[in-house]
Chains A and B, each alone.
Chain A
Amino acid sequence: QQQVKQSPQSLIVQKGGISIINCAYENTAFDYFPWYQQFPGKGPALLIAIRPDVSEKKEGRFTISFNKSAKQFSLHIMDSQPGDSATYFCAASTRGSTLGRLYFGRGTQLTVWP
């Protein structure tokens, strides 16, 4: 059973456009929602993360929007650049008895073309 559902699987955006990737979850015990970015030949690396006590977190061109009631969160990349082309994974975790598990979505391959 997939704990975190991510869409779309792939995304093509023109340079300067907005990239939006969505994730949904069912487990209300999740209380930490990170996004990881992966470039070809590299391991994933933390991009940005949010806790459910806020509805939005922004770091530069990257913003997480969080909707607790809908159990959804999304990554917005403003002014998308070719250097943003990568695979993005959303994830979720708890701090309770399941500490040690970080559940990943299936990933979104983003291509930003000039």
Chain B
Amino acid sequence: EAQVTQNPRYLITVTGKKLTVTCSQNMNHEYMSWYRQDPGLGLRQIYYSMNVEVTDKGDVPEGYKVSRKEKRNFPLILESPSPNQTSLYFCASSTIQGFYNSPLHFGNGTRLTVT
């Protein structure tokens, strides 16, 4: 089954404790992206990657890091989480041919709480 898998689904942590949210896709997609969803603010893009070793900032990259060492994986790293990063996070993927030809496929989300 074609899917984007995020882990964990739920995570509670404390301020300053480094964490990584993993994302993996099995569709051989070149494009991967991270979004955060907050009430009233919709989906805001954090980082995206057009291919292996190619990443770029979205609208809200501060406090986050990403890496794309393999095509299928795109982990999101919070090196020193703060309470304002409490949010629902989504990973998504698509082909490089553009959204015309391939919709964005989303994972089921990771709900992060930073106390």
Question: Do the two shown chains form a genuine complex with each other?
Answer: yes
Known interface pairs A93-B99, A100-B56. Does A44 touch B106 (Cβ–Cβ under 8 Å)? yes
Kindly state the interface size class of chain B when it binds its partner: 20 to 34
Total number of A-B contacts with CB less than 8 angstroms? 61
Residues of A in contact (CB 8 Å), total 25
Determine if A68 is an interface residue (Cβ-Cβ < 8 Å): no
Known interface pairs A95-B98, A107-B42, A107-B43. Does A44 touch B90 (Cβ–Cβ under 8 Å)? yes
User: Judging by beta carbons under 8 Å apart, are B50 and A100 in contact?
Assistant: yes
User: Judging by beta carbons under 8 Å apart, are B58 and A101 in contact?
Assistant: yes
Among residues of A, the one whose C-beta sits closest to the C-beta of B40 is A106
Among residues of A, the one whose C-beta sits closest to the C-beta of B44 is A104
Give chain B's interface residues, CB within 8 Å of chain A: 4, 31, 33, 35, 40-45, 48, 50, 56, 58, 90, 92, 98-100, 103-104, 106-109
Nearest 3 pairs of A and B residues by beta carbon: A43-B106, A106-B42, A46-B103
Listed A/B pairs (25) with beta-carbon separation below 8 Å? A6-B42, A32-B99, A34-B99, A34-B103, A42-B108, A43-B90, A43-B92, A44-B43, A44-B104, A45-B103, A49-B99, A49-B103, A51-B100, A95-B98, A99-B50, A100-B48, A100-B50, A100-B56, A102-B33, A102-B104, A103-B45, A104-B43, A106-B40, A106-B41, A106-B42
